[in-house]
Amino acid sequence: KQEVTQIPAALSVPEGENLVLNCSFTDSAIYNLQWFRQDPGKGLTSLLLIQSSQREQTSGRLNASLDKSSGRSTLYIAASQPGDSATYLCAVNEGGATNKLIFGTGTLLAVQP
């Protein structure tokens, strides 16, 4: 059974710092991995999607990497801003006939001004 874990559970950094969020999964047979942002009481905003054949994806100040064989992904946020404060979730797509997403435990990020 696929299990997705995120470390750390919570992180507080001063504005301007670069930071790394970690995601690990137990079964490397995935189709893709996605990073989401969730603001309090809100739905999900997709940030980056990495296909299983890819190593990384970039969007603006965000860079996500994927090492499928070791079951790990990282989300790098450059020059963090207070507006980046949110919960960040990673999710693996097991593919096949189901297209199910298995979500990680989340990292609550607070960027202090």
Residues that bind other proteins (CB under 8 A): 31-32, 34, 36, 41-44, 46, 49, 51, 89, 91, 93, 95-106
Residue 97 tokens read as 């006939």
For other proteins, give the closer residue by CB, 92 or 111: 92
Judge whether 11 and 21 are in contact, CB under 8 Å.
yes
Closest distance between other proteins and the C-beta of residue 32, in Å? 6
User: Which residues, in sequence order, are bridge partners of residue 44?
Assistant: 38
CA–CA distance, 61 with 27 (Å, rounded to integer): 29
Closest distance between other proteins and the C-beta of residue 112, in Å? 20
Closest distance between other proteins and the C-beta of residue 44, in Å? 4
For other proteins, give the closer residue by CB, 58 or 81: 58
3-state secondary structure of 82: helix
Distances (CA, A) of 85 to 9, 30, 50, 56, 67: 14, 28, 22, 23, 26
Closest distance between other proteins and the C-beta of residue 74, in Å? 18
For other proteins, give the closer residue by CB, 55 or 81: 55
